[in-house]
Amino acid sequence: MFCRNVKLQLHYTPGGALAMAIKSPLYKIQEKLGAKFTEFAGFEMPLQYSSIREEHLTVRRSVGLFDVSHMSNVWITGKDAMKLLSLTTVADASKVGEKQSQYTVILKEDGTIIDDTIFMNLEDKYMMIPNAGMNAVVTNWLNEQAKKHKLNAKAEDASRDFVILAIQGPKSRETLQKLTNTDLNSVKFFGCQYDNISRVPCIISHTGYTGELGFELQITPNKKAEGVFNKILDAGKEFDIKPIGLGARDTLRLEKCFMLAGNEFHGGRSPLEATLGWTVNWDHDFIGKEALLKQKEKGTFERMTCLMCVDKGIPRHGCEIHKDGRKVGIVTSGTLSPCLNVGISMGYVHPDCRAEGSMLDIIVRDKPLKAKVVKPPFVPKDWAQKN
């Protein structure tokens, strides 16, 4: 047996190759909990604890706890911080009120995505959460642009100062509520604020990467995080909470058709190609806007497309997508859906071949696998109630 671990492959090396994988400050406790580890973007993180399928279903049905400290933290400060964000992302930061966060993308001049990210308006300053290993790239880019456009704003990489926990699933709010006096119902979807969880200061946001009810915590200093991690596991006991690895994180996001930067944006893709046009606020100027407008006008670009397999089999990253024996696209992410028990994939497909309901072939080990174009997400919001 030779196992090709296709799951969390990154198809680029962000920020250059790292000599040694960085361990999360929670490594020891994860090891005790029986985690199998994987290297992801220069970090040694839990891949799974029990099984990906079991962890996946725990999050869909109840609640799970993720350590996502591999993600980056960048402070953005200075009187022009808002202007810098508006310039360097497709969002108009002036429309993002205090205690709100925004999903967006950072573009190069040519309109291709450097990274997708969330930034939080924390009243006194902004925090941005770039992807794993993208801290240096994004921080440098923001500072370069600030200098070039004479903005009084500064980006500062604080990635190693924070442990990031994600509590996700229908029981996440009830679990976390036990550990804070703040009424968590008051933290709206994509809301964010400074708070305390079991008396440890943190930033809490009503965000996630699973498509379920969920919260994310940015905890500093690192040494306080282990206590919070344990407290959350205790608080969730009545709901059979489980620690969740990156394996299930990937299958959970893929069932909801969320992008994984290293897969979906690899090789230079624009937000229009990635069907992230909805994130673009066209009423303001931002880096990459001209290129996007040109692309939009032309209209002939490949677009992110969700394909659900009709035949048995599992599409994987890099599989070609064919129609009538002709290549019309490429799979960027694929897996077996633990909820639906069929192969699902995301990939870029020629604009003429992606109408909902169209049948295409995904080529897996030289054999065509019939798959149907579906509207995202693969797994609907009420799946757990119905299954």
Interaction with another protein in 273-312: which residues (CB under 8 A)?
312
Distance, CA of 309 to CA of 336 (rounded, Å): 9
Which region among 6-14, 91-99, 113-121, 279-287 touches another protein (by CB under 8 A)?
6-14
Kindly tell me which of 156 and 311 has the beta carbon lying closer to another protein: 311
Cβ 73 to another protein, closest distance in Å?
27
Specify the 3-state DSSP secondary structure of 100.
strand
Reading the block at residue 255, the tokens are 């069932």
The owner of tokens 């990467």 is 209
- Choosing from 27, 42, 44, 48, the residue that interacts with another protein (CB under 8 A) is 48
309 to 328: interface string for another protein, x by CB under 8 A? ---xxx-x------------
Cβ 200 to another protein, closest distance in Å?
33
Cβ 47 to another protein, closest distance in Å?
8
Does position 11 bind another protein by CB under 8 A?
Answer: no
The owner of tokens 């190069």 is 108
- Choosing from 3, 19, 20, 355, the residue that interacts with another protein (CB under 8 A) is 3
Distance, CA of 189 to CA of 214 (rounded, Å): 9
Query: Please, which residues bridge with residue 76 across strands?
Result: 126, 155
Instruction: Identify the H or E element spanning 177.
Output: helix 172-177
Interaction with another protein in 351-370: which residues (CB under 8 A)?
365
- Choosing from 63, 106, 272, 336, the residue that interacts with another protein (CB under 8 A) is 336
Are β-strands 154-157 and 126-129 bridged in parallel, bridged antiparallel, or unpaired? Answer: unpaired
Interaction with another protein in 73-132: which residues (CB under 8 A)?
none
DSSP letter at 384 equals H
- Residue 224, C-beta contacts closer than 8 angstroms, at least 6 positions apart: 200
Which region among 3-11, 131-139, 212-220, 223-231 touches another protein (by CB under 8 A)?
3-11
DSSP letter at 11 equals S
Cβ 3 to another protein, closest distance in Å?
4
The owner of tokens 């290549």 is 327
How many residues line the site for another protein (CB under 8 A)?
26
Kindly tell me which of 55 and 116 has the beta carbon lying closer to another protein: 55
100: closest CA among 217, 206, 184?
206
Kindly tell me which of 84 and 319 has the beta carbon lying closer to another protein: 319
Are β-strands 74-77 and 126-129 bridged in parallel, bridged antiparallel, or unpaired? Answer: antiparallel
Specify the 3-state DSSP secondary structure of 268.
coil
Distance, CA of 224 to CA of 45 (rounded, Å): 19
Are β-strands 326-336 and 200-205 bridged in parallel, bridged antiparallel, or unpaired? Answer: unpaired
Kindly tell me which of 4 and 375 has the beta carbon lying closer to another protein: 4
Kindly tell me which of 3 and 19 has the beta carbon lying closer to another protein: 3
- Choosing from 18, 23, 53, 156, the residue that interacts with another protein (CB under 8 A) is 53
Does position 17 bind another protein by CB under 8 A?
Answer: no
How distant is the alpha carbon of residue 36 from its chain centre? Answer: 21
Handedness of CA 46, 50, 52, 54 (dihedral sign): negative
Cβ 374 to another protein, closest distance in Å?
20
321: closest CA among 355, 364, 352?
364
Specify the 3-state DSSP secondary structure of 351.
helix
Does position 214 bind another protein by CB under 8 A?
Answer: no
54 to 73: interface string for another protein, x by CB under 8 A? x-x-----------------
Cβ 131 to another protein, closest distance in Å?
19
Cβ 251 to another protein, closest distance in Å?
6
Does position 256 bind another protein by CB under 8 A?
Answer: no
Residues that bind another protein (CB under 8 A): 1-8, 48, 51-54, 56, 247, 250-251, 312-314, 316, 335-336, 338, 341, 365
